[in-house]
């Protein structure tokens, strides 16, 4: 027998929704919720979404998915049994559910679910982050996944969703069980980000060793890039189970050094022209160097009212409870007001759209 609590998922089934409701009843406040999560052994709290405005059901809707992803759901429930003895029986039943008891649901039944991850309208933990107007991005990811294209560069002005877009790449890899290696330049803060930093970050995640000492005293960035590329790709073995995805985010940040960009330029060309490292898909954001002609391109822009309307039209279509035109118009106006008040913060807009949809479709918006 396979227990439900031991399985992972990227969306909620009926049991998961019931667990979210129970957790929201007993852990209503931010401090209590995170205090409880800190007692779950080996849970990586850094991966649990921490919204600026805490609402119990919305928080637990995202947190339960992340805890399941880390295979720590049983540990969380056991902690709840100890923490809330009067509700112990309510929690213990989740430890006894056979997977066969989970009701089969059509992908179209849930307002934030999907059949093909590239077409998902909501991404991230708990499928709680809407993706607005990214049809060109979806088309390009189809090409990388299904048509043999190998590289993609996402560019755009700050705060237009370049990094946000990568959650769609992550979902694609998660559902397809494809390995993904991600480097986020933001992790370096105000420090310089060099070619050696990039190589070492990639090598650490790929569990290989790349000799970078040969370029320590080489001043020319293009010579360094060539030497580092040879050293890097010679250590990388092809992934026999399908393409390996590499993501490098934030190449337009101030601290990125010319040598790092020169290496990325070489890597893009190597993957596109020579298929080395073999079976690799490379997605970068903010790269302003020379791209191979076959490399795909996507440009982000500020989200508009039309984008929000289009997303809500897709979510609402054919789903119950039906939303009236007046409700839809109120949602759009309210979400855009939050967006403007937050200084056109895309994260604030996304949180508000998710809250409105959750509140309407499953009552988990508060």
Mean pLDDT rounded to a whole number for the chain: 89
Q: Among residues 257, 204, 262, 266, which one has the least CA distance to residue 233?
A: 266
Assess contact for 224 and 259: CB atoms under 8 A: yes
**Architecture in CATH for domain 134-299:** 3-Layer(aba) Sandwich (3.40)
Distance separating alpha carbons of residues 272 and 362, to the nearest angstrom: 45
Alpha-carbon span 164 to 156, nearest angstrom: 12
Q: In the chain, what are the domain boundaries?
A: 4-105, 134-299, 303-361
Q: What is the pTM of this model?
A: 0.73
- Residue matched to tokens 């002609």: 293
What does the pLDDT read at residue 102?
60
Cβ atoms of 168 and 118 within 8 Å: the answer is yes
**DSSP per residue, 313-364:** HHHHTT-SS---HHHHHHHHHHHHHHHHHTTS-HHHHHHHHHHHHHHHHTS-
Which of the two residues, 17 and 183, has the higher pLDDT score? Answer: 183
Using DSSP's 3-state secondary structure scheme, residue 247 falls into strand
Give residue 177's Cα distance to chain centre: 14
Q: In this structure, what token pair is assigned to residue 307?
A: 């984008």
65 versus 12: which is more confidently predicted?
65
Q: pLDDT for 25-78, tens place per residue?
A: 899 998 999 999 999 999 998 888 877 778 888 888 888 988 988 999 999 999
pLDDT of residue 314: 86
pLDDT in tens, 110-143: 788 888 899 899 998 888 899 997 889 999 999 9
pLDDT band at 366 (very low <50, low <70, confident <90, very high): very low
Give the pLDDT score at 365: 45
Distance, in Å, from the CA atom of 249 to the CA atom of 176, rounded to the nearest integer, reads 21
pLDDT at 106: 42
- pLDDT at site 362: 79
């Amino acid at each position: 027998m396979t227990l439900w609590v031991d399985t992972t998922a990227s969306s909620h089934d009926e049991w998961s929704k019931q667990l979210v409701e129970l957790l929201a009843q007993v852990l209503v406040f931010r401090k209590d919720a995170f205090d409880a999560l800190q007692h779950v052994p080996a849970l990586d709290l850094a991966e649990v979404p921490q919204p600026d405005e805490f609402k119990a059901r919305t928080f637990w809707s995202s947190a339960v998915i992340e805890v399941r992803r880390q295979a720590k759901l049983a540990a969380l429930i056991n902690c709840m049994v100890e923490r809330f003895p009067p509700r112990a029986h309510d929690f213990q039943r989740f430890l006894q559910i056979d997977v066969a008891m989970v009701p089969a649901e059509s992908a179209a039944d849930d307002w934030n679910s999907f059949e093909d991850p590239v077409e998902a309208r909501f991404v991230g933990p708990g499928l709680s982050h809407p993706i607005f107007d990214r049809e060109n991005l979806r088309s390009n990811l189809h090409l990388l996944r299904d048509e043999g294209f190998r590289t993609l560069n996402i560019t755009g002005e700050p705060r237009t969703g370049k990094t946000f877009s990568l959650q769609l790449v992550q979902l694609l890899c998660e559902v397809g069980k494809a390995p993904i290696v991600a480097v986020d330049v933001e992790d370096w803060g105000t420090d310089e980000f060099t070619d050696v930093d990039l190589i070492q970050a990639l090598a650490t995640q790929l569990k290989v060793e790349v000799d970078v000492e040969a370029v320590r005293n080489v001043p020319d960035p293009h010579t360094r890039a060539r030497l580092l590329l040879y050293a890097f790709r010679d250590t990388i073995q092809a992934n026999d189970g399908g393409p390996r995805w590499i993501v490098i985010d934030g190449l337009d940040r101030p601290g990125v050094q010319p040598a790092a960009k020169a290496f990325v330029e070489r890597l893009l060309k190597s993957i596109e022209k020579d298929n080395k490292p073999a079976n690799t898909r490379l997605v970068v954001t903010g790269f302003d160097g020379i791209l191979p002609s076959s490399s795909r391109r996507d440009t982000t822009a500020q989200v508009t009212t039309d984008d929000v309307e289009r997303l809500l039209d897709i979510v609402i279509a054919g789903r119950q409870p039906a939303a009236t035109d007046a409700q839809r118009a109120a949602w759009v106006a309210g979400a855009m007001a939050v967006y403007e008040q937050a200084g056109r913060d895309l994260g604030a807009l996304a949180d508000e759209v998710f809250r409105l949809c959750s509140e309407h479709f499953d009552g988990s918006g508060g």
